[in-house]
Amino acid sequence: MPSASSAVSDSSRAVPSSLWRDGDFRRLWVGQTASQLGEQTSLLVLPLFAVLALDAGAGQLGVLRAVGQAPILLFSLIVGAWVDRWRTRTVMVLADVSRTMALGVAAVAGLLGWLGLPALLVVAFVVGALSVFFDVAYQACLVRLVRRDQLVRGNSALEGSRSAAQIGGPALGGALVSLLSAPIAAASSALFFALSFLSIRRIRRIESIPERSERPPRVWRRIHEGLRFVVSDTSLRTVCLASAAFQFSFAAMMTVYLLFLPRELHLSGTAVGLSLAATGPGALVGSVPAARLPGRFGHGAVLVSAAALGDGAFLCVPALHGSSAVTVPVLLAVSFVFGTGGQLVNVTVMAVRQAVTPDRLQGRTAATITFVGMGLTPLGSLFGGFLAQEWGLRTSLLATAAGMMLSPVLMALSSLARLGRALPTLAEDAADPRTP
């Protein structure tokens, strides 16, 4: 393995001025797109299998979703500390291989009739844990591969690819579960992870990582350093709080939503998949102006308005009744607006985070925000299942959708809303070997 010093010197090679002329960035983009497509497919396949094939109730579906989300709470911080000390390509490749194997085993078990709820819980936990590794690693990888003045464009491209995955993943997963079987759908997710592995393993540029001392700091000290940095920065602290409010409410809402669509609106698995997939085109549309709007109207204004628009769209869903010919177009419109607003928020937040964070803390900062922001999702899923049992689907859907609006309110009341067109810069940027 090359030494840290050789890694630094190798990473000093000129980075192409255009991202799309950079072969390593293209390989990261293709791999991340395939990985997100596999993740989006599996996120719908497992709950739909539980609801449609195993007749899972609200409480069981809440548990299944909570188990799949629990790794975010359990592993995010320690993964961030590891990613800051290891090559992100290695982390992503290992995560892809392991997810391919996990879903491959699930597909075989399903074909043999062994894929019951306990097996689904195991698969959901394993895939969720490995996705934490991949997601933290690819965010840190971009910072190590491109110059800081290319970050907004790079983030916009990666978020656009995630949008494309949101278009194909839910639609494909819902169609395969409905027309074929859950095992076939699980196998398709495994193939996407395999494609991600084949692309990312071909990244050639050796990353610049911090030199390792003979006695490196303990993991808990590295975690504490990341936590302290996020807490000390007003913008990042607000991002954590707003994200936590949104993710808790969104997890609760989605648990109710996945029951509401087939049981209250009587939609098929294919219709459910298509309704959710409309988030993808919306996010794809949102990714186009995401690199320009903050520079024109200010980062804070874009964050607050986009979050209010996207999250507020779901407030009209509880009022839906009638045939699928009426409800499906409305659901498509809701998902489209949600995707557009969410994409603007995601790209802008990531640009803010990467701009104010030193390179040596990128992994830990991303992991800390993921931990705080998404750590409550397992509880949100359980809460959604509890509400659905106690209050009924329609009332619970309205309550959880209203809860999502707390996120833009928190941002509007903070200094984050006052961020202007230009983001703060770091003094260490001048020493960045990738900066011309």
Report CA-CA distances (Å) from 234 to 359, 425, 429: 19, 15, 21
Q: Which residues of 75-91 are buried (b: 16+ CB within 10 A; e: fewer)?
A: bbbbbbbbbbbbbbbeb
Per the structure, how many domains does the chain have? 1
The stretch 13-33 carries a mean pLDDT of: 75
Collapse the DSSP code of 345 into the 3-class scheme (helix H, G, I; strand E, B; otherwise coil) and give the result.
helix
The stretch 353-359 carries a mean pLDDT of: 78
Q: Residue 155 in contact with residue 350, Cβ under 8 Å? A: yes
If we measure between CA atoms, which residue out of 79, 223, 82, 88 comes closest to residue 146? 88
Q: Is residue 399 part of a domain?
A: yes
Would you state the pLDDT for residue 434? 38
**pLDDT per residue as tens digits for the range 269-305:** 678 877 877 777 787 788 777 777 887 888 888 889 9
CA distance 160 to 342: 12
- The enclosing H or E element of 403 equals helix 393-403
Helical spans, DSSP H, in 148-233: 151-179, 182-200, 219-232
Cβ neighbours of 270 (radius 10 Å)? 15
Question: Residue 9: pLDDT above 50?
Answer: no
Q: Considering only residues 56 and 92, tell me which one the structure prediction assigns the higher pLDDT.
A: 92
Q: Is residue 231 part of a domain?
A: yes
Confidence category of residue 252, pLDDT binned at 50, 70, 90? very high
Q: Is residue 8 part of a domain?
A: no
Would you state the pLDDT for residue 3? 38
Would you state the pLDDT for residue 4? 37
Would you state the pLDDT for residue 227? 80
Q: Is residue 9 part of a domain?
A: no
Question: Residue 402: pLDDT above 70?
Answer: yes
Question: Residue 264: pLDDT above 50?
Answer: yes
> From the centroid of its chain, how far is CA 64?
18
Q: Is residue 214 part of a domain?
A: no
The residue segments making up the domain with residue 227 are 17-206+220-428
Q: Which long-range contacts (CB under 8 A, 24 or more apart) does 51-56 make?
A: 51/258, 51/259, 51/262, 52/177, 52/178, 52/262, 52/269, 53/182, 54/116, 54/117, 54/120, 56/117
Q: Is residue 3 part of a domain?
A: no
Sign of the Cα torsion 406, 408, 409, 411 reads positive
Question: Residue 435: pLDDT above 50?
Answer: no
Region of 266 on the Ramachandran plot (φ > 0 left; ψ -120 to 50 alpha; else beta) = left
Q: Is residue 211 part of a domain?
A: no
Q: What is the DSSP string of 252-306?
A: HHHHHHHHIIIIIS---HHHHHHHHHTHHHHHHHHHHHHTTHHHHH-HHHHHHHH
The stretch 404-416 carries a mean pLDDT of: 89
Question: Could you say which DSSP state residue 429 is in?
Answer: G
Give the CATH number, domain containing residue 71: 1.20.1250.20
Q: Is residue 226 part of a domain?
A: yes
Question: Rounded to two decimals, what is the model's pTM?
Answer: 0.66
Highest mean pLDDT (candidates 152-156, 284-288, 289-293, 394-398): 394-398
CA distance 176 to 168: 12
Collapse the DSSP code of 152 into the 3-class scheme (helix H, G, I; strand E, B; otherwise coil) and give the result.
helix
Residue type, 280: G
The stretch 403-424 carries a mean pLDDT of: 83
**pLDDT per residue as tens digits for the range 321-350:** 876 678 889 999 998 999 888 888 888 887
Would you state the pLDDT for residue 331? 92
**pLDDT per residue as tens digits for the range 28-70:** 888 988 898 888 888 778 777 777 667 777 778 778 878 887 8
Q: Considering only residues 5 and 423, tell me which one the structure prediction assigns the higher pLDDT.
A: 423
Would you state the pLDDT for residue 145? 76
**pLDDT per residue as tens digits for the range 189-220:** 889 999 999 999 888 877 665 555 555 556 67
If we measure between CA atoms, which residue out of 96, 24, 84 comes closest to residue 208? 84
**pLDDT per residue as tens digits for the range 123-138:** 899 998 998 899 888 8
